[in-house]
Amino acid sequence: MCGFIGFLGGKALHGALGEEAVIQRMADSILHRGPDDVGYWCDVDQHVSLGHRRLAVVDLSPAGHQPMHSASGRYVIAYNGEVYNFPALRLKLEHLGQRFRGHSDTEVVLAAIDAWGLEGAITQFVGMFAFALWDCRERRLSLVRDRLGIKPLYYGRVNGAFVFGSELKAIRAFPGFKQPVDRGALALLMRHNYVPAPYSIYQDIYKLSPGHILTLDRNDPAGKPEINAYWSAKEVAEAGVASPFEGSDSEAIEALDGLLRDAVGSRMVSDVPLGAFLSGGYDSSLVVAQMQAQSSRPVRTFSIGFHEKQYNEANHAKAVAVHLGTDHTELYVTSKEAMDVIPRLPTLYDEPFSDSSQIPAFLVSQLARQHVTVSLSGDGGDELFSGYNRYFWGRSIWNRIGWLPIGTRKLMCTALTAVSPERWDRVFDHLSPILPSMVKQRMPGDRLHKLAEILRASSPDAMYHTLISHWKDPASMILCAKEPKTVLTDRSRWANLEDFTQRMMYLDTVSYLPDDILVKVDRASMGVSLEARVPLLDHRIVEFAWRLPLSMKLRDGQGKWILRQVLYKYVPRKLVDRPKMGFGVPIDSWLRGPLRDWAESLLDEKRLLHEGFFKPQPIRQLWAEHLSGKRNWQYHLWDVLMFQAWLENQ
């Protein structure tokens, strides 16, 4: 796992420093992504430069040094990621007469491109990757990002040069960077708690979308890059639904078990210590179970615990670890230790990012890095196997309320919101002894208020958009902002899926998964120089999951049916069957207590007016309601606070 940077053109604007000095400065900004080695390559005549920071994981020798040249001399690559099937590809290439000087997957990647061309090679790669490739013969730059967007890649024009890198901080290090904040992207942040691809928080700086190749010709460096897809989640979803798996339940379970075993096993190849995050939920428990089944020694597992009972899953993780016989490490953190992470967030996440589970994600990464260099994670199971509550609750709610006149539903909305979330919480707490377990939820009052919001929806798709939105009209609270289109609002980019639940799963896979979940995992882990691998997002599992009928995912009012059946082969259901908790921290109470002064400073009315991004009135109103306990506006306020903290850090 590594980080890379580079630029093409712009001679007159960085010539005073020199190409090598510029690329070194950019590389220094992402030291955390690769503390083991650094490398640069510059072609002064072509005004192209590549830089690389290496976290050595496979082939620790100098033979893995980057940027790396292909044996033919045609290509130079700076690469971040892992291609897990590189041993099999290496054998194929050796049969074609290719000779190798080392044992890294980078060398195999280059040889594959030399043998089969860029697209012919990457369609054979199984793994996570982002890389920059310079074709010395054709004088062409290519940027490539993996199918699901596990690894990041930013690009844009700065001071006359085409600049790219693994993180925004590397692009900011390019001489003359003065890009203003993109107010449309800020509106998207307020809605989603992340900035979705292809946008970034800066004007004219973009994220390469998952499964795409960008090419730019040296003969026209100021021209518009050509961007094409080599893999499409839309096509995969449509093809899977059109050609469903026709075997029995037991055949599907066996097939998925085999795919998972292969995906997990291939991600256990490492020349450095390896472990796994374990929350005790279905996904991480299954990954760890598959690891332990293929390991001759106890697998290292890591969990973070909280003293607040409603946020703590460490006891469940420990029970799974004991059953599987892993070498388990858990750390209970205090609220102060968790809050101490907050000042690091603007630098860690590099652009405003306000999913508050970023805090425990960093803490568990920090814990794991004390013992291992690689850690497997269970991310992706919710989107592929229908794990989020909205998939079954949304379907159920719309079936029950969709037929009601909109006026009736608005009256119901008014009735539900007339009682504050805190009072609803007290009601549910009083009724808890007689409520069935599936009805018990963390923060039930907030969930009822969210239900009230969706009662106003005019269609199932409008209901989904409400469910995934924090600020419902973010452009109205940002000065001079127009919210741009995304895959979530551009129906021409949606997969043609008749079922509402499948549409939600598809949209989450192409938006929430790469732009929130995987950003969180990458920045939290790489921030402490830890490689995180996500076996459930092996593209072969993704393609198989879309072939499975929805009834194999949603059954008896629960999601992840087939995933749970595989897990039950390794772990007793009593250890894992419980309501979904999530990975959160008590931001709501922190903002009323120890974080109050910090938040008040960032939300000061005069400050907001002076900075000129937000209209103070709606923010101040929510802040007052939150402090009074009348409402819990933690998500809305955290969106604003993370932008304000990032802005201050700039």
Give pLDDT, residue 306: 86
Q: What is the percent of the chain where pLDDT is above 90? A: 78
Q: What is the mean pLDDT of residues 544-556?
A: 96
Residue 307 confidence class, pLDDT cut points 50, 70, 90: confident
Question: CA 548, 550, 553: angle at the middle one, nearest 5?
Answer: 85
Each residue of 18-56: pLDDT tens digit? Answer: 889 999 999 999 999 999 999 999 998 888 999 999 999
The helix/strand/coil state of 488 is coil
Q: CATH 3.40.50.620 in the chain, residues?
A: 235-385+508-575
Q: What is the mean pLDDT of residues 123-145?
A: 97
Asked whether the CA dihedral 291, 292, 297, 301 is positive or negative, the reply is positive
Each residue of 616-633: pLDDT tens digit? Answer: 999 999 999 999 988 889
- Pick the closest to residue 533 from 384, 422, 375 (CA basis): 375
Each residue of 135-189: pLDDT tens digit? Answer: 999 999 999 999 999 999 999 999 989 999 999 999 999 999 999 999 999 999 9
One DSSP character per residue, 492-506 reads GGS----SHHHHHHH
Q: CATH 3.60.20.10 in the chain, residues?
A: 2-230
Q: Is residue 13's pLDDT more than 60?
A: no
Asked if 305 contacts 332 with a C-beta cutoff of 8 angstroms, the reply is yes
Contacts of 639 (CB under 8 A, 6+ apart): 189, 190, 193, 354, 470, 471
Give pLDDT, residue 368: 98
The helix/strand/coil state of 374 is strand
At the topology level, CATH places domain 235-385+508-575 in Rossmann fold (3.40.50)
Q: How many CB atoms lie within 10 A of CB 627?
A: 14
Question: CA 605, 468, 402: angle at the middle one, nearest 5?
Answer: 125
Q: What is the mean pLDDT of residues 530-543?
A: 98
- Pick the closest to residue 287 from 85, 538, 507, 509 (CA basis): 538
Cα–chain center distance at 209 = 13
Q: Using CA atoms, how far apart are residues 318 and 323, in angstroms rounded to an integer?
A: 9
Catalytic residue of the set 2, 42, 136, 413 = 2
Strand arrangement of the beta sheet that strand 300-306 belongs to:
327-333, 300-306, 274-277, 374-376, 531-533
Question: Over the chain, what is the mean pLDDT?
Answer: 92
- Pick the closest to residue 17 from 46, 49, 39 (CA basis): 49
Give pLDDT, residue 15: 56
The helix/strand/coil state of 264 is helix
Residue 321 confidence class, pLDDT cut points 50, 70, 90: very high
Give pLDDT, residue 43: 92
Residues in the chain: 650
Q: Is residue 445's pLDDT more than 90?
A: no
Q: Using CA atoms, how far apart are residues 575 and 134, in angstroms rounded to an integer?
A: 51
Helices (H), 205-278: 233-242, 249-266
Annotated catalytic residue 2: yes
Backbone φ, ψ for residue 88 (5° rounding)? -70, -40
Q: Using CA atoms, how far apart are residues 315 and 587, in angstroms rounded to an integer?
A: 22
Each residue of 409-422: pLDDT tens digit? Answer: 888 888 887 887 77
Q: What is the mean pLDDT of residues 489-510?
A: 96
Side-chain half-sphere of 242: how many Cα atoms within 13 Å? Answer: 8
CATH code at 2-230: 3.60.20.10
Give pLDDT, residue 438: 46
Give pLDDT, residue 126: 98
Helices (H), 441-499: 444-454, 460-467
Give pLDDT, residue 431: 67
Q: What is the mean pLDDT of residues 468-478?
A: 94
